[in-house]
């Protein structure tokens, strides 16, 4: 499939506009920055059942709606001034594009998409949080089926009429669509990560305690929303223990309570009682590898192959034989190979590395901060 220059230029313009908006918002006084609108997105619905339990009695679409409504009630009760918007309140089919448009049209300050996970085996369990990213290779995360989750959540596009026109050629079955995500920069990345971290902390308290971590993934609803956005997989419908919890009203109530606690914590920071940048600084940073430290004035170049929420051991098969330097970025680790003082050398390295890591990209490293370089001749 092909993306013409107009599409690329338009999306880059959107990215720059979003980034400018974020910078402007950061300069406002804390008294004017308030979380006034949250959009709750119960995954699936109507003709799209989502994941289904092995006995065919429990549908993801019903669990997500129940938990979203419970969460919304708690937010409304605690914060009457916060507008709670649902992408659906009944068993109704809503397109991915419409879900994002609902959030954008209501000028939401936070988008929470609620889902339930599944796998062919009954052993995987636990919850995970996902923010916008460019991942497409299964080995980019700690569990090998991460990309299958992306495809499943995006595949509902195929149920829509004229989806190829509406989604500008985005095809959930076409790997090139996921490469296209590399062109998008999430202007609200740090806020999304901050909320995801709050969710992970609260959900770890139970009733489903196993965290599968925070990862960056190309979910369409995260790509199209212009605000901090997180997609949550609250448990595995294919796991008997997780299913038992989610099937009980008490279990769903507990999950909603944990999500509300995360929302409350995030709102405190968002509202200016604790500045978002200060909150990130206050969090204990994971130490970078000594080899990955750079002085403030030293600029180097390399190729980023992975970004994960957990640290891989040297020789892990996900590294595919590479021995990267590791840089911490908040609660994520960035894996960079081929580091040198030459921008041209980094581009040459990228041409080789992308054969094993198609979603890798050249980066600049300055003061310990890793940022993308403009790719040329990709």
Q: Closest Cα partner for 190 from 107, 104, 269, 81?
A: 269
What are the beta bridge partners of residue 182?
none
Backbone angles phi, psi at 205, to 5 degrees: -80, -5
- At 193-219, the pLDDT tens digits run 889 999 999 999 999 999 988 887 778
Average of per-residue pLDDT values in the chain:
78
- At 88-142, the pLDDT tens digits run 999 999 999 999 999 989 989 999 999 999 999 999 999 999 988 654 444 443 3
Q: What does the pLDDT read at residue 171? A: 59
Q: What does the pLDDT read at residue 196? A: 93
Q: Closest Cα partner for 94 from 46, 31, 39, 155?
A: 46
The domain made up of 290-372 is a member of CATH 3.30.420.40? no
CA dist., res. 115 & res. 113, Å (int): 7
Element (H, E) at 276: helix 276-282
Concatenated DSSP letters of 309-363: SSPPPTT-GGGTT---EEEEETTEEEEEEEEES-HHHHHHHHHHHTTT-TT-EEE
Task: Enter the DSSP assignment of 288.
Answer: P
Q: Where are the domains of the chain?
A: 5-278, 290-372
CA dist., res. 256 & res. 73, Å (int): 10
Is there a contact between 22 and 186 (Cβ–Cβ < 8 Å)?
Answer: no
pTM score of the predicted model? 0.62
Instruction: Tell me the CATH number for domain 5-278.
Output: 3.40.630.40
């Amino acid at each position: 499939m092909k993306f013409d220059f107009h599409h690329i230029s338009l999306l880059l313009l959107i990215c720059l506009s979003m980034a400018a908006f974020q910078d402007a918002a950061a300069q406002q006084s804390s008294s004017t920055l308030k979380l006034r609108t949250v959009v709750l997105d119960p995954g699936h619905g109507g003709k799209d059942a989502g994941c289904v339990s092995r006995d065919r009695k429990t549908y993801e679409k019903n669990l997500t709606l129940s938990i979203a409504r419970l969460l919304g009630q708690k937010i409304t009760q605690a914060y009457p001034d916060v507008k709670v918007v649902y992408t659906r309140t009944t068993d109704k089919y809503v397109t991915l594009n419409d879900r994002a448009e609902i959030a954008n049209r209501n000028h939401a300050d936070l988008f929470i998409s609620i889902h339930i996970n599944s796998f062919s085996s009954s052993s995987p369990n636990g919850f995970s949080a996902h923010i916008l990213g460019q991942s497409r290779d299964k080995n980019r995360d700690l569990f090998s089926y991460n990309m299958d989750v992306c495809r499943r959540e995006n595949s509902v596009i195929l149920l829509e009429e004229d989806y190829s026109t509406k989604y500008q050629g985005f095809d959930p079955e076409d790997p090139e669509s996921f490469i296209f995500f590399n062109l998008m920069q999430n202007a609200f990345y740090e806020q999304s990560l901050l909320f995801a971290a709050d969710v992970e902390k609260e959900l770890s308290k139970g009733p489903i305690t196993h965290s599968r971590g925070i990862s960056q993934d190309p979910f369409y609803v995260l790509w199209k929303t212009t605000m901090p956005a997180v997609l949550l997989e609250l448990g595995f419908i294919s796991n008997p223990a997780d299913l038992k919890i989610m099937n009980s009203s008490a279990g769903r109530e507990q999950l909603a309570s944990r999500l509300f606690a995360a929302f409350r914590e995030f709102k405190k920071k968002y509202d200016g009682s604790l500045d978002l940048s200060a909150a990130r600084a206050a969090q204990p940073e994971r130490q970078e590898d000594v080899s990955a430290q750079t002085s403030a004035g030293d600029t180097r170049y390399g190729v980023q192959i992975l970004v994960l929420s957990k640290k891989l051991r040297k020789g892990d098969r996900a590294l595919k034989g590479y021995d990267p330097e590791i840089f911490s970025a908040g609660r994520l680790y960035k894996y960079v190979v081929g580091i040198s003082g030459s921008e041209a050398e980094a581009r040459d390295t990228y041409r080789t590395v992308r054969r094993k890591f198609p979603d890798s990209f050249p980066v600049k490293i300055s003061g310990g901060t890793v940022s993308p370089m403009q790719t040329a001749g990709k």
